[in-house]
Each structure stands twice: as C-alpha cells, then as structure tokens.
C-alpha cells in the first residue's frame, strides 16, 4: 500500500485532527496495520467524532489516508458504504441495537479491504454491553470498531479492556482561540468564544458565529444587581435566562438545516431518492440541541457564579462574605441538578429565590 503522509508520518486525512497530539500519536501508526477495536474516550466537544471519521477514512482509503481521493471524500461526507456510524435511538443503547451491530459486523466490505463501524455514545451502553462484548472482542476479519465514549463507566470496563485506548482531552482556552483564528474568526470574537466554550471546539465555533453571545453573558452577570426580593422579578429573570438558551439553540438549528440541505443535494447528485440515514441524522440533531441547552445553562451558571465571586473578593464584613459564599454553593447545586434533566424554568426560579434569600439573610 502506498501510504501518503504529511509531516512525521501522519496521513494527510489525519492532519485535519487539531489540538489532540496524544490521540494522533496513537492513530497515525495504526493506519497501516489496525487492530480490531479502538476506544476514543474524552469529554463532549473534544473532537472524537471528527477524529473517528478521519481515522475511518484513512483505514478504507486505497492510499492510506490521502485526504483527497473519492473514498476519503465519501467518508468525511458520511456516504461511504464501508463506514457505518451507529447512533442510539433512545436514552441508552438497547440490547436490540447491540444485536443489530453484531449482525452488521458480519457484513463484508463492498469497496475497501475492510469496513469500519463507529459506535457513538458508548458510555450509555448500559445493559447492552454483554451483547456486544464478543463482537467487539473478536470481530470478523476486515471489521474494525471505533467506539466513542465520554467516559468509561463500570458497564463499559470489560469492553474497554479489549480496545486500544485513545484519549481525547478538553481543549485549552489558548488552543481554542488559535484554532478559531486559524479558521478565519477575528481575534476579538475568537477570544471570548474560546473563554466561554468550556474546552469544547464545537461550542467555541458556535459561539464565535453567534452575535448574541456577549448579550447573553451580560444577562447572567446582571442577575445579582437586578434581584429586588420580589417573586415577580424572579419570574422575569428566569424566563429571560431560559429564552437566552433558546437563542443559541436556534443558531445550532440553522447550522443543522444547512447540513441537511447539503446531504439532500449529495443524495440527489448520487441518484438517491432520499437522504441515506436521514432518521439517524435527525435524531442526532435533536440530541445535539438538548445537549447544547444543558451546556448553555451550565455556562450561564458559571458566569453567574463568577459574578458572585467578584462580589466575594470585594466583600467587607462577615455577613456579606457568608452571603456570597452561600450564593456560590447554591449555584453549584443547580449546575449539578442539570444532569437530571429538570424543568429549566422551575430550576432557575428556585435558584434565584435561594440566591435572594442567601444575600438578604
């Protein structure tokens, strides 16, 4: 095989991986002789999904990941017949979905020496893990699994031990800013977007293209000064903060619509009557929207906590100091409660009432 490479032996298609040198150091040497399974683990927004596409492209490319051939282009566009991304349909990967993956693994590659199966959100494998263990541990020759997980819960431990671990880390603020500037984002927008992205490249890109980002941050920072001890103000503030999350979700919806339009055009050009995998794409879009809402609220709470910490630094007197500390603790509790998918408005109303009481008590 003629393996096209960039600097230091990295196939060109993997050269598009950014900010994850430790992952690249594992994947680049694996292209010429891959093993049966790889576990990409790391927080959301660390580039696991994009890296999986690029690694899959390198594995099925006739030139070892040239990045410019039809095969590479089809993988990156999500259309290659020998690269399958398996998305969960419910809150967790079901046993039936696991069995379908086992069946899929038996399929022969159509155009390439091997097929690649990417399993998304595998930290949510739950009780389906035993149904997948044998398949991932000993797949048929020519099948390579790429497993994506935000972490390694106990249910995933055995499967994880059968995979080559590939670690993805949160991006530093400085790296995010550099990446945004390299993509053409002016530095005056790249810096604040990187600071508000919590280490996530996808969020940084979204914020950099969102003119309402600074306004939303201002709403959260202004909360302490707008509190006046009345329930009416609490209701207004909670409503405004929930609406602020909607604004960013709408920016994401517009990008998702563009993705759907591009997929429709590609399907038409290929003579397809419908977008291949449209249902899976729509389900992924809905999950991205739900995750973004949670991320936006969590980021807003962090901004709010920062406002109270600023007050803490300037506090004089034991009572003021205790009040600021209590407010920070209440905000932390609200951020932790987001994992339980609560009613957002009620959560924020309860938080604001608690903050008002903590400051005035």
pLDDT in tens, 84-142: 998 887 777 888 888 899 999 999 999 998 999 999 888 887 778 888 888 999 999 99
How far apart CA 269 and CA 154 sit, in angstroms, is: 45
Question: What is the pLDDT of the chain when averaged over all its residues?
Answer: 88
Predicted confidence at residue 316, as pLDDT, reads 64
The encoded tokens of residue 185 equal: 């984002």
How far apart CA 244 and CA 223 sit, in angstroms, is: 13
Of 313-317, 338-342, 351-355, least confident by mean pLDDT is 313-317
How far apart CA 195 and CA 134 sit, in angstroms, is: 43
pLDDT at 273 over 80: yes
Predicted confidence at residue 58, as pLDDT, reads 97
Of 16-20, 26-30, 233-237, least confident by mean pLDDT is 16-20
Of 59-73, 158-172, 183-197, 273-287, least confident by mean pLDDT is 273-287
Sheet containing strand 143-149, strands side by side: 83-86, 115-119, 143-149, 37-41, 164-167
Predicted confidence at residue 104, as pLDDT, reads 92
pLDDT at 3 over 80: no
Share of the chain above pLDDT 90, in %: 51
pLDDT at 158 over 50: yes
How far apart CA 293 and CA 248 sit, in angstroms, is: 8
Predicted confidence at residue 1, as pLDDT, reads 41
Predicted confidence at residue 260, as pLDDT, reads 92
Predicted confidence at residue 33, as pLDDT, reads 93
Hey, which of 169-178, 268-277, 283-292 has the most confident mean pLDDT?
Answer: 169-178
Question: Mean pLDDT, to the nearest integer, of 173-190?
Answer: 92
Predicted confidence at residue 7, as pLDDT, reads 52
pLDDT at 150 over 70: yes
Considering only residues 6 and 284, tell me which one the structure prediction assigns the higher pLDDT: 284
Predicted confidence at residue 291, as pLDDT, reads 85
Predicted confidence at residue 19, as pLDDT, reads 86
Of 216-225, 279-288, 296-305, least confident by mean pLDDT is 279-288
Question: Mean pLDDT, to the nearest integer, of 224-239?
Answer: 93
Considering only residues 196 and 143, tell me which one the structure prediction assigns the higher pLDDT: 143
Q: With bands split at pLDDT 50, 70 and 90, how would you rate the model's confidence at 315? A: low
Considering only residues 148 and 325, tell me which one the structure prediction assigns the higher pLDDT: 148
Predicted confidence at residue 174, as pLDDT, reads 92
pLDDT at 358 over 70: yes
Cβ atoms 127, 95 nearer than 8 A: yes
Predicted confidence at residue 334, as pLDDT, reads 93
């Amino acid at each position: 095989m003629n393996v096209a490479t960039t600097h230091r032996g990295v196939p060109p298609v993997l050269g598009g991986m950014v900010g994850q040198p430790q992952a690249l150091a594992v994947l680049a040497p694996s292209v010429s002789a891959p093993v049966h399974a790889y576990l990409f683990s790391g927080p959301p927004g660390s580039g696991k999904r994009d890296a999986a596409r690029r690694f899959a492209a390198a594995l099925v490319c006739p030139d070892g990941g040239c990045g410019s051939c039809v095969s590479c282009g089809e993988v990156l566009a999500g259309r290659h017949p020998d690269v399958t991304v398996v998305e969960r349909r419910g809150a967790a990967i079901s046993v039936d979905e696991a069995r379908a993956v086992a069946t899929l693994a038996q399929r022969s590659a159509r155009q390439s020496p091997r097929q690649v199966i990417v399993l998304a959100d595998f930290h949510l494998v739950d009780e389906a893990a035993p149904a997948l263990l044998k398949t991932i541990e000993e797949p048929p020759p020519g099948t390579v699994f790429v497993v994506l997980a935000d972490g390694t819960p106990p249910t995933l431990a055995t499967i994880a031990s059968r995979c080559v671990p590939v670690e993805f880390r949160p991006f530093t603020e400085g790296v995010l800013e550099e990446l945004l500037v390299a993509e053409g984002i002016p530095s005056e927008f790249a810096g604040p977007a990187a600071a508000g992205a919590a280490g996530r490249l996808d969020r940084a890109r979204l914020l950099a293209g969102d003119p309402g980002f600074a306004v939303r941050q201002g709403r959260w920072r202004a909360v302490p000064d707008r509190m006046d001890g009345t329930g009416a103000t609490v209701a207004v503030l909670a409503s405004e903060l929930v609406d602020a999350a909607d604004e960013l979700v709408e920016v994401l919806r517009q990008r998702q619509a563009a993705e759907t339009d591009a997929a429709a055009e590609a399907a038409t050009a290929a003579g397809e009557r419908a977008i291949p995998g449209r249902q899976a794409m729509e389900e992924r879009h809905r999950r991205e929207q739900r995750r973004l809402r949670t991320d936006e609220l969590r980021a807003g709470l962090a901004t709010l906590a920062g406002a109270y910490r600023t007050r803490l630094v300037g506090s004089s007197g034991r009572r003021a100091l205790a009040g600021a500390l209590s407010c920070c603790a209440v905000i932390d509790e609200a951020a932790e409660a987001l994992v339980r998918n609560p009613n957002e408005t009620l959560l924020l109303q309860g938080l604001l009432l608690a903050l008002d009481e903590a400051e005035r008590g």
